Amino acid sequence: MIKAVNRELAVSIKFISEFEVRNNLNPKSVLDCIKNVFVDYAKGKAAMPSKVYLEMNTPGDDYRAMPAYTRNTAGIKWIADYTSNIDRNISTTDALIILNNKHTGKPLSLIEGNFITQARTAATTALATQAILNGDKVKKIAFIGCGAQTMPHLQFLLEVIDVKEISFYDKNIDKAYTMAKSLGDVFEKVYVAQSVEECVKDSRIITTLTPSRTGYLTNKMLTKPVHINAVGADAVGKRELCDDIFFNCSTLVYDDKEQACHSGDTQYKKGPSHMHTNPHLKEYELKNVLRWSKKTLKEKIKKSLTVYDSTGLAIEDIAIAEAIYEKIK
């Protein structure tokens, strides 16, 4: 325990390690927690301002301050995102979360946040995918990028869909082979592709998880109907999807539209070329999609080419951090 003393009273700030976080999270509880906080967000019972970015001199390296409040807790995640750490062969992200009692302002806990970041991102992607597909059968899924987020995304997607085939691609092909090998013979087929185009061929779901600053996934690579989870672009200057994806997109779901248009792949949707004009595009926010019935989803989601633009929201971090704190305080 960290002891903090002020003039009014002494408070004990609970430190929760990464080890404790991992031992007190399970996929079902995370999925429930994320869905509930998005419903609260839609009802005005959870809130967050825009992320604050502190950019370093090296492209792709930055710090982010992510405050939010939920029903009973306020908090902030401070996260370093260093793409340059790929070359150092160390973690690209490191996060800490501070929780406060929303009603008194008193500090409650300091929590290591790396695993929370991985779990909440993957769980939100899984919930978005489940809602958008709305019961569609899936044979093959593809992952572009084989870093820290890939296995959590696979694990959470498998909580909501059944899959027979998986393909992986990474610029560092050894990472793709290592990930494929770790799956053993659980699936009918596991591929390691030699290119993005080979990886996504015949895939019903494509999840992009790279720090790319240049679009690499094009419409002509896709076998439709197809759903894309665009996860890697989460800061100004990052992008994974090329212009023609948005020009041909039938339904676009944002985790948060304002944030996605600032720092997600859709920051390029209305770029200087205006090539993204698509009068047939349906656009929704996830906080609304997760509240819809199967009938409403069927009416509103046009499935030829669907995209979920994930940028990562502070409400997700604080909701899961609060649940862990309440469990082990």
**What pLDDT sits at residue 277?**
66
Name the packing angle between helices 114-133 and 150-160 (round to 10°).
40
**What pLDDT sits at residue 168?**
98
For residue range 52-90, what is the model confidence (pLDDT) as tens digits?
A: 999 999 888 999 999 999 998 999 999 999 989 988 888
- Two tokens, residue 15: 């430190």
Average pLDDT of every residue of the chain: 93
- Two tokens, residue 295: 């009938």
Does residue 172 surpass a pLDDT of 90?
yes
Compute, in degrees rounded to 10, the torsion defined by CA atoms 28, 32, 33, 37. 160
For residue range 219-247, what is the model confidence (pLDDT) as tens digits?
A: 999 999 999 999 999 988 899 999 899 99
- Two tokens, residue 266: 């859709």
pTM: 0.93
Q: Provide the residue type at 114 as one letter.
A: N
* Contact status, residue 248 vs residue 278, Cβ threshold 8 Å: yes
Spatial separation of the C-alpha atoms in residues 28 and 43, rounded to whole Å: 23
Instruction: Report the b/e string of 171-195 with b at 16+ CB within 10 A.
Output: eeeebbeebbeeeeeebeebbbbee
Q: Please report the domains of the chain, with CATH numbers, ordered by start residue.
A: 2-116+315-328 (3.30.1780.10), 118-312 (3.40.50.720)
